[in-house]
Amino acid sequence: MLFQPERYLLKKQIKKNARYINGVVLDAGSGNGERYKKFFKFDRYVTFDVNSAYGADMVGSVENIPAESGSFDSVVSTQVLEHVKNPQKAIEEFYRALKPGGYCLVTVPQMNELHDEPNDYWRFTKYGLEEIFGRAGFKIVLIEQRGGFWVLNAQMKIRYIIDLFDLNRRAWLAKIFNLFFLIGGRLSILIDELDKSKANKKHALGWLIIAQK
């Protein structure tokens, strides 16, 4: 798999905050349900996706979750809200589906190339997340930044090269480029960690929010 700082940091961020997720879990926008499931301790893991081809437990939009109110102890939704026409409605559905005291873990991009077109509608800032989750009734536990200036620039360059040369379909060429992606991407992550400036923190790949009903 081609190394991308975004995917590396996203996985690391979800694993770090997985302790909030337990009990009966709804993975809203799950895909095949295997991406981050291994990080969570749960009694039951319910997958839910708009695309029936993934074989999810439930099929439909996160704007209208086909479950009774208070059905879940936890909701996980990773890199989904940018593809939803009405993200406020989706967050209100997360709130409704959760039991009182339940947590949701949601990740979103602030910067990304266009993807899954034409169903790519939104990008989010920290302050936008505070607004829409607060409006839905959630108590915000934490909002954590993913990446700064250096990682953002490395990710955009890597993604451009992947798309320019169609590397996901050209395995032999991808192997050559991936060495440079790995070195440059890891270096950008290290520099980001060392750069504590306010200037660096004004740039973000995206955010993770933990919110409680």
Share of the chain above pLDDT 70, in %: 100
Asked whether residue 85 carries a pLDDT value surpassing 90, the answer given is: yes
Asked whether residue 1 carries a pLDDT value surpassing 90, the answer given is: no
CA atoms within 13 A on the CB side of 87: 21
pLDDT average, residue stretch 20-24? 98
Nearest to 97 by CA among 144, 138, 130, 128: 138
Query: What is the pTM (predicted TM-score) of this model?
Result: 0.96
Angle at 6 between CA 36 and CA 23, to 5 degrees: 20
pLDDT band at residue 204 using 50, 70 and 90 as cut-offs: very high
Asked whether residue 34 carries a pLDDT value surpassing 90, the answer given is: no
pLDDT band at residue 33 using 50, 70 and 90 as cut-offs: confident
Asked whether residue 46 carries a pLDDT value surpassing 90, the answer given is: yes
pLDDT average, residue stretch 181-187? 98
Share of the chain above pLDDT 90, in %: 98
Nearest to 134 by CA among 29, 22, 209: 209
Asked whether residue 62 carries a pLDDT value surpassing 90, the answer given is: yes
pLDDT in tens, 122-143: 999 999 999 999 999 999 999 9
Mean pLDDT of the chain: 97
Bridge partners (DSSP) listed for residue 212:
103, 139
pLDDT in tens, 132-178: 999 999 999 999 999 999 999 999 999 999 999 999 999 999 999 99
Q: Give the pLDDT of residue 147.
A: 97
CB 152 within 8 A of CB 123: no
Gyration radius of the chain's alpha carbons: 17
CB 121 within 8 A of CB 185: no
